[in-house]
Amino acid sequence: MGVAGMVLGILAIVFFWVPVFNWILIAIGLPLSIAGLVVGKQRGEPVGMAIAGIVLNCVPLIISIIIIILIGSFLGLLAGLIGGLAGGF
């Protein structure tokens, strides 16, 4: 499970610019990585791949959240400017 989560995390980093595909990869990869970490610790197996999967899935998630905030801020600013211009006429 940890390896699958890590692979999906790598794909999510590569495709972070494709919003819906990226979110699907993260939605599948992050739980797989967390499950791999839990199962690996219970069985006493190495959990390095699962930890890497968690990190690799969190990075594009954070990048996506920042991009959404920036786009929302830009659109709000643009709407304010357009509203200000329209009110001046």
CA distances from 44 to 18, 40, 84 (A): 37, 6, 63
Q: Report the alpha-carbon angle 60-26-70, nearest 5.
A: 40
**Secondary structure (3-state) at 15:** coil
Q: Which residues lie closer than 8 Å to 47 by C-beta, 6 or more apart?
A: 2, 36, 37, 40, 41
Query: What pTM was computed for the model?
Result: 0.82
> What are the pLDDT tens digits along the chain (89 aa)?
889 999 999 999 999 888 789 999 999 999 999 999 999 999 999 999 999 999 999 999 999 999 999 999 999 999 988 887 776 55
pLDDT at 89: 56
pLDDT at 50: 94
